[in-house]
Amino acid sequence: MDDLIKRCQQGDVDAFSILVERNGAKAVRTAYLITGRRDMAEDIAQETFIQCYRDIKRLRKPEMFQAWFYRVLTRLSWRHTAKEKGKVSLESLADSDNKFLVNDTNLAEAVEAKLKQDIVQKAVGRLNTPLRTTIVLYYFNELSIKEIAHVLGCREGTVKSRLHNARKQLARELKQYGLEPSSQDERAYLGQEDVVQ
């Protein structure tokens, strides 16, 4: 990846196309999960790549690309969300990014698992922007607490606090639906593991 970033910094358009191809779907999904709007997410992802193309030469450490990229994406998502004001609700993620795989289970179990996933995604959509963004970066993009702190421009303790508060709020909401996921289930319900066991 570092080599690809260095090539992009040298103006290699083909390398940048590869970078977009590798990160495009994840960028749209991340922006969508932060904003709750598909049309807005696609615009934000496009704007993020344009800004990255323009500014990638300024990136001093190629190994920091991921954190830098998500910082740009997050800031743009927040800016667009602020224009919309108010909370957003997430519609079901029924696109190619979020394939729902069924392995050796019956249809009823698959439907139940999908419903649980939808409930969690809607609950995530009701979180305030900083909590929602932290959850998205941690669970969907698998960034470390240190990377999230860099992306959001805050301390690691703040990230941990936001994760704690978001989990607590999500647990309260899920309890209303009779869902009390264990820490093992958290990732499945939050979209990390789409395979039904």
Kindly report, as residue ranges, where domains of CATH 1.10.1740.10 are found in the chain. Answer: 2-84
pLDDT tens-digit series, residues 95-154: 434 433 444 445 556 666 667 777 788 888 889 999 999 999 998 888 999 999 999 999
* CATH, domain range 2-84: 1.10.1740.10
pLDDT tens-digit series, residues 58-87: 999 999 999 999 999 999 999 988 887 654
Contact 48, 72 (CB under 8 A): yes
Contact 74, 53 (CB under 8 A): no
Residue by residue, what is the 3-state secondary structure of 34-97?
HHCCHHHHHHHHHHHHHHHHHHHHHCCCHHHHHHHHHHHHHHHHHHHHHHHCCCCCCCCCCCHH
CATH 3.40.50.300 fits 96-196, yes or no: no
What is the predicted pLDDT for the residue at 175? 84
Kindly report, as residue ranges, where domains of CATH 1.10.10.10 are found in the chain. Answer: 96-196
